[in-house]
Amino acid sequence: MNSEKAEPTAKAALLSALKMARKLSRSTVMSELVVGGQSNRADIVLANDRLSCFEIKTHADTLVRLPKQLDTFTRCFDETTVVAASKHLSAVRALVPDFVGVMELAGAPKAPEIIVHRQASTSSHLSVEFLLQLLPADRLRLVLGGRGLPKKRADLMQHAQAMSIEDARAAVIAFLRDRYRVSSKAFASGAQRSVKCKDLLRLRRLHRIEASTLDDNEAQEWEIFQYVGQSFGQAPPEIIKAFTKV
């Protein structure tokens, strides 16, 4: 399996395992959530009364970026778990703090099995400043009281310094639930007992495609296309048309 298709396959396997463990029933589910800049994305995030992040490292990935990712994720999310291919397992165990969860992508890359080696516990690095990075400036201004406050994020953060972790978390969860409610509900209603790659399309907040019309290979290609499109700008109309049901 090539590197581009490994990611959606692993993500579907993870969501299947979380679904079987009843971790999704009361959660808003997000895929590729931007955290602290476009170059930093959390593979899967769950929001209920807490925020949980899952970072996937397939057999085709390296661990070069993992320390920096964990430095950010453990400051934003109550719980962070690394989901790693078997070949990375020893290195991941050596890299991550004790409170970071560890799961293994075991077996064949085309049909990985999720093995839980350590459940995540509450991060000791949580930061109000990092949590509030998950809010756009206009929402942050509203949370802080609205009228009379500056427009620039840097100035708003000066007003947010006294906010508690609990209040910052509640504000972020409310925002994420509102923003991703429709896509998360579409995913929950469409995915069966075992999550397929095509079910991931429903987690695209502005998706225009019916996932039921695609097989898993086509769904993987669409997932790759969407991700590349975010990196390199709007695709030509004829390419979009080829992937989109009119």
Please give the torsion angle defined by the CA atoms of residues 208, 171, 151 and 146, in that order, rounded to the nearest 10 degrees: 110
pLDDT of residue 216: 52
pLDDT of residue 219: 46
pLDDT of residue 225: 47
pLDDT, averaged in runs of 10, over the chain (246 residues): 82 96 94 84 97 97 95 97 98 97 95 97 96 92 86 88 94 96 90 85 68 50 47 49 48
pLDDT of residue 246: 36
pLDDT of residue 211: 47
How far is residue 199's CA from residue 84's CA, in Å, rounded to a whole number? 21
pLDDT of residue 172: 97
pLDDT of residue 209: 47
Tokens at residue 150, please?
Answer: 């500056």
Half-sphere exposure of 168 (CA within 13 A, CB side): 22
Tell me whether residue 76 is exposed, middle or buried, using C-beta atoms within 10 angstroms of its C-beta: 0 to 12, 13 to 18, 19 or more: buried
pLDDT of residue 207: 54
pLDDT of residue 127: 95
Q: Three-class SS of residue 43?
A: strand
